[in-house]
Amino acid sequence: MDFCSGFRLTQTPGKHQAGKTALRALVLSMAVAFVTGTALAATPPARVVSGNGASGSFLAGVVANTARDMSAAAEYFREALKADPRNAGLLDQAFLAELVDGNHEEAFRLAERAIRHDKSNALAHVALGVRALKAKQYDRARASFDRAGGSAREADLTIGLLRAWAQAGAGDVAGALQGIDRFKENELRGYREFFGGLIADLGKRPVEAETRLANAYKTENGIMRVTDAYARILSRRGKIAEAKEIVTQWRTRNTSQPYLDRQFQALDKGEALPPLVGSVTEGAAEVFYGLGAVGAASRDPMTAVIYLQLARLLSPKDEVIAITLGEFFEQLRQNERAAETYQMVPASSPLANRAAIGRATSLERLEKTDEAIIVLRTLLAAHPEDLEAADTLGAILRVKKRWVESIEVYDAAIKSVAKLEQRHWPLLFGRAIGYERSKQWAKAEPDFLAALDLLPPKPRSPREAAERAQVMNYLAYSWVDMHMNIDKSFEMLRQAVAMAPGDGAVVDSLGWAYFRLGRYEDAVRELERAVLLKAGDPTINDHLGDAYWRVGRQREARFKWSQTLTLNPEPEDLEKITRKLETGLADGPAANAAPPKPNGG
C-alpha cells in the first residue's frame, strides 16, 4: 500500500504487493504494447492510398509515443483508426493513447467500441464505470465494474474497491463494506481498512469509520493519506489533541513535506477537519491515486499516468493528484504538460511552492530559462525561507554559468538559516561551486569543507553515500588540479569511489588525479572503468584520450578525441580537442582539464 503524498517522499514503498492487481497487469500489458507500438492482437493496419493512411498514421503514432509525445500519439492513432476502423489492435492503441493523454470523452467512446468487439475487455468496462460514477449513475457504474470482474469470487482488488464506491453511491453502504471485507488476506488489511473507513465516514457511520481508520493507521502509520484520514475522523469525534499528535508525528518524520501543514494549523486552533473524501467520485479517485503511487514504485510512469488522469477526472480539485501527475509528466519528459499541470495548483494551496518549483524545473528543461528564473524569483520574494526554491534557482543559474548570481542566491538562503543541519549541505555545496568556478578558491574551499562536515562520515544509506561522494569528488578533484593536498586528495577520492562505485564521474576524478600526477597507467585503468560506467560523457572520453596518448596508444587516443566531438562537449573545449586531433597532446599538463561534475555526472 503506497498512498504517498506524491512528493517523491524518501519513504520506501509499502510492503504489501496487493497493488499488483489483475487490472494493473492488464493496463501494464497494454501499456507495453502501446510503448513498443505492437497493439494487442493487432493485425498490420491496412494501407490506403490517400494521405498518410492507416500505416503512415500508425507509424507516426509509434514515433510520437517513443518520444513520449502523448498528444501527438493520440492524434495519430486516432487518424489511423479512422482509416482502418475495424482493426482491433489499432482500437486498443487509440483507446490507451486517449487515456494517457487525458482525452476521456474520446476514450469513453472508444471503450464502447472496444466492448462491442471484445466483451471481456476489463479496462474498457472500468472506463465506462468511471464515466457513470462521474455522472452519478451508480447502478450503471456498478454494472460496468461487475462486467470487469468486480463481482467474481476472486475479484480484482482495484475493481472491487471501485464497485464498493458505486454501491455506496447507490445508498448500499452496508453492501459496499461487505464487498470490501471479502478481501481478507492479511497483506490487504491496509487497503481494506483504509477504504472501508472512508466509505463508512461518507456513509455517516463515524464509529465504524474511526475503528477502521485506526486499524489502517496501525498498519500504515507512515503513509500520509492514511494519517490524514485518521486525523480528520478523530478531530470530528472530539479528539483534537490525539489528531494533532499523529499529524505532528508525521510532519516530524517528513520535515520537508508541506501537505499536512494546513491540517496542523486548523487542529492547533481547535478546529475539526472535514473528511478526506467528500463524495463517491473523490473516493474512487483515491483508488486510482493509490494505483498511481504503485506505478511510481514499479517505475511504470505510463501506466501511472493513466490512473492519475482518471483520478484527476474524478477529483479535479485534488492538489496532491495534480502534483503527482505533474511529476509523472516530468518522468516521461513531457515538460510542457508538466508545467501546465503544476500551474493548475492554486496559490492558496500548501503545495503551491512545490508546484512552482516543479513548473520552473519543467520550463528550464524546455529551455525557457528566463521564465523559470522569474517563477523562482517570484516565489522567493514571497517565501524567502523556501530553501528548495533557492537551491533550484541556484542550480539553474550555475548551469547557465551565471556564477555570481548563483552565489547571491545561495548566500541569501544560507543567511536565512539559524542553524545549519545535514539537510542544508546542498546550499553550501552550491555556493562553493559558484565560488570555485568564478575563481574565488579562498571562499570555495571553506564551503566545500563545511558541506562535508554536515554529512555523516559513515553514511547510513546509499543516498547519504552518494551525497558525501559528490562533495568529496569535487573538493579532491579541485585540490589535485591545483596540486594541493595530494595525499589527502587521493584518500578522499578513493573513499568517494568506494561510496559511489557506479558513478562514472567520481571514478573519472580518481583517474584524472592519477593523470595529473603522471601516473598514466593507473589513469588509463580508472578512466577506462569510468567510460564503461558513463560512455556518453564527453569529459571522461576526452580524459581517456589524453591518458591513452601518454602511454603511447596514439591511435586509440585520436579515436577517443574524435568520439568526444560527437558527444556535445562544452564550446570552450572544442578548439582544444580539435587541436589535439591535429597535433597530438602537448608535453606538460593536459590541454583540457574540465571541472568535476558537481551532480555526480
Indicate the burial class of 297 (C-beta count within 10 angstroms; 0-12, 13-18, 19 or more). Answer: middle
Cβ neighbours of 500 (radius 10 Å): 24
Q: What is the CA radius of gyration of the chain?
A: 28
C-alpha cell belonging to residue 399: 548551469
182, 167 contact by CB (below 8 A):
no
The residue assigned the cell 474524478 is 314
**Among residues of the chain, what percentage have pLDDT more than 90?**
69
Cα dist from 35 to 32, 230, 309, 334, 493, whole Å: 5, 39, 18, 15, 41
Distance CA 387, CA 413 (A): 6
Please, which pLDDT band fits residue 601 given cuts at 50, 70 and 90? very low
Cell 528543461 belongs to 365
Which band of pLDDT confidence, cut at 50, 70 and 90, is reported for residue 39? very low
Amino acid, res. 59: L
- Amino acid 5 reads S
Domain boundaries of the chain, sorted by first residue: 455-601
**Of residues 340 and 83, more confidently modeled:** 340
Topology of domain 455-601, CATH: 1.25.40
What pLDDT, on the 0 to 100 scale, is given for residue 18?
A: 39
CB contact at 8 A, 503 and 533: yes
pLDDT band at 150 (very low <50, low <70, confident <90, very high): low
Report the alpha-carbon distance of residue 380 to residue 389 in Å, rounded.
Answer: 7
DSSP for 464-481, please give it: HHHHHHHHHHHHHHHHHH
Q: Which residues contact 575 (CB under 8 A, 6 or more apart)?
A: none
pLDDT on residue 97:
86
The per-residue pLDDT for range 194-245, each reduced to its tens digit, is: 999 999 999 999 999 999 999 999 998 889 999 999 999 999 999 999 999 9
Nearest-angstrom CA–CA distance, 14 and 26: 22
pLDDT at 594: 53
pLDDT of residue 154: 67
Dihedral sign, Cα of residue 216, residue 219, residue 220, residue 221: positive
Name 164's Cβ contacts closer than 8 Å, sequence gap at least 6.
176, 177, 179, 180, 195, 199
Q: State the pLDDT at residue 467.
A: 96
Q: What mean pLDDT do residues 33-48 have?
A: 39
pLDDT category, 412, cuts 50, 70, 90? very high
- Residues 489-516: what's their mean pLDDT? 93
C-alpha span between 230 and 207 (Å, rounded): 12
Comparing 164-178, 243-257, 507-521, 579-593, which segment has the lowest mean pLDDT? 579-593
Q: What is the pLDDT of residue 127?
A: 96
Distance CA 468, CA 482 (A): 21
Instruction: Output helix, strand, coil percentages for the chain, rounded to the nearest 5.
Output: 70, 0, 30
- The confidence band for 588, taking pLDDT boundaries of 50, 70 and 90, is low
pLDDT band at 498 (very low <50, low <70, confident <90, very high): very high
Which is nearest to 477 in space by CA: 313, 594, 382? 594
Going by pLDDT thresholds of 50, 70 and 90, the confidence category of residue 296 is low
Q: How many residues does the chain have?
A: 601
Q: Is the pLDDT of residue 179 over 60?
A: yes
Residues with Cβ within 8 Å of 585's Cβ and at least 6 positions away in sequence, in order, are: 546, 549, 550, 557, 591
Instruction: Specify the pLDDT at position 55.
Output: 74
Average pLDDT over residues 176-181: 95
Cα(487)–Cα(543) distance, rounded to whole angstroms? Answer: 21
Enter the C-alpha cell of residue 59.
507509424
20 by DSSP, 3-state: which? coil
CB contact set of 331 (below 8 Å; sequence gap of 6+) = 301
Chain centroid to CA 440: 35
Q: What is the mean pLDDT of the chain?
A: 86
Model pTM?
Answer: 0.81
Grid cell digits, residue 135? 455522472
Q: Which of the pair, 31 or 487, is modelled with greater confidence?
A: 487
% of the chain exceeding 70 in pLDDT: 86
* pLDDT tens profile 321-378: 999 999 999 988 899 999 999 999 998 898 999 999 999 999 999 999 999 999 999 9
pLDDT at 501 over 50: yes
pLDDT higher than threshold 60 for residue 595: no
Q: What is the mean pLDDT of residues 461-477?
A: 95
